[in-house]
Amino acid sequence: MKVTLREKKIKDGKRSLYLDFYPAVLQPGTGKATRREFLKLYVYERPKTEVERSHNKETRLLAQNIAARRQLEIQAGNYGFLAKSKKGDDFLKYFRAVTEKHNSSKSAKQTWENAYLHFFDFAGGRCTFERLNQKLVEDFKSYLLTCHTRRSSKQTLKPSSAASYFQCFCAALSEAVKAKHLTENPAENVKAIKTTESAREYLTIEELQLLAKTECRMPIVLRRAALFSALTGMRFSDISRLRWENVRETGGTKHFVEFKIQKTGENLTLPISAEAFELLGSRGAPSDQIFLDLEYGAMTSVFIARWTLAAGITKTITFHSFRHTFATAQLTLGTDLYTVSKMLGHKSIQKTQIYARIVDEKKREAADKITLK
């Protein structure tokens, strides 16, 4: 690689100084291969005074120093964001290795896997460390906001999914900086993908009680599991994996469940009410699955819709709505936010605050019902 200082005649009797690279290099700002880097330094083509001649001498000396520094940077593999990695090293291979490390839970593993696969598609199956720059990061961000899911060519990514995948990609870049593959993180000045808070549909306590009394033609195991979720706040993924060995007894009539949350991989000890315990049915062997043959399929939402309509409830209720029902009901009845957060298995109380805002809105609606007019 050779760096040569050259001059180009421009208007107003001046010459522009630039560097000539051979062969071409990838510019940090654009990620495109180029032979030139204009230094934004100018000299007089025909200096007439001592001041102009002095200016030319100092400016050319400065340009020569920059050229020498560029030569050293390129030889050391440190031009732009590139550092330890040699020319041609594959960032995708590094991203794959980072992805395989993030397997603390099934959910986290799948998110990282999807992030890697989308970047693989975006990069065309190969991306050297030299290509990494702010423009590429911005382009990948735009790609995620418009691309289709990997399952369907007709369905675009949800903003929340795009935000999660972009966060994983930026985290991989951060790890590359820590490992000294990069001198800077090209995503440092790129804003994260913003997502709007999704609506959390839930049942009021009165609606839940009405639903519990309503008979409907649906798998009894699904009905039991849905009501169990409303009384415990447990997710479908955890309820479907629940075994009798997870159910413990204390004080004779008091029960609790101990299980590992599938989404986060965290262990949770959750007290359950007597009504929730009754929904579990007759105790079996420790290894027996409690909600046998409980599967989340295409008909699950249909069954729940028929059930809620039979109860005269017109809200769009999904299985996960029963978890939302538990959270809002607990806060409505006065349970503090910290306790509800722990019962839901949230890692931070910020995730639980959305339910507090929902309850505050219901209080506002209640307050507005009393009027002197």
SS (H, E, C) the chain: CEEEEEEEECCCCEEEEEEEEEEEEECCCCCCEEEEEEEEEEEECCCCCHHHHHHHHHHHHHHHHHHHHHHHHHHCCCCCCECCCCCCCEHHHHHHHHHHHCCCCHHHHHHHHHHHHHHHHHHCCCCEHHHCCHHHHHHHHHHHHHCECCCCCCCECCHHHHHHHHHHHHHHHHHHHHCCCECCCCCCCCCCCCCCCCCCCCCCHHHHHHHHHCCCCCCHHHHHHHHHHHHHCCCHHHHCCCEHHHEEEECCCEEEEEEECCCCCCEEEEEECHHHHHCCCCCCCCCCECCCCCCCCCCHHHHHHHHHHHCCCCCCCCCCHHHHHHHHHHHHCCCCHHHHHHHHCCCCHHHCHHHHHHHHHHHHHHHHCCCCC
| Span 294-303, pLDDT tens digits | 888 778 888 9
Query: To the nearest whole percent, how much of the chain has pLDDT over 70?
Result: 91
User: Given the structure tokens 């900086």, which residue do they identify?
Assistant: 177
| Span 332-367, pLDDT tens digits | 888 999 999 999 999 888 888 888 888 887 777 777
CB 326 within 8 A of CB 233: yes
| Span 179-208, pLDDT tens digits | 888 878 889 888 998 876 566 789 999 999
Q: How far is CA 239 from CA 154, 168, 242, in A?
A: 32, 28, 5
Amino acid 229: pLDDT: 96
Distance CA 347, CA 352 (A): 10
- The pLDDT-based confidence of 114 (bands split at 50, 70, 90) is very high
Distance CA 279, CA 310 (A): 21
Q: Is residue 288 over pLDDT 80?
A: yes
Q: Which range is most confident: 86-90, 141-145, 217-221?
A: 141-145
State the chain's maximal CA–CA distance in angstroms. Answer: 103
Amino acid 37: pLDDT: 87
Closest CA to 14 of 53, 56, 43, 39: 43
| Span 29-38, pLDDT tens digits | 555 677 888 8
Q: What is the mean predicted confidence (pLDDT) over 238-257?
A: 90
- In degrees rounded to 5, what are phi and psi of residue 312? 80, 20
Structure pTM?
0.56
Amino acid 197: pLDDT: 58
The larger pLDDT score, comparing residue 356 to residue 75, is at 356
- Which of 2-11, 52-61, 152-161 is predicted least confidently? 152-161
CB 59 within 8 A of CB 41: yes
Closest CA to 5 of 73, 80, 59: 59
| Span 12-54, pLDDT tens digits | 899 999 999 887 776 655 556 778 888 889 999 999 999 999 9
- Which of 65-69, 209-213, 222-226, 367-371 is predicted least confidently? 367-371
Query: To the nearest whole percent, how much of the chain has pLDDT over 90?
Result: 54
Distance CA 249, CA 239 (A): 18
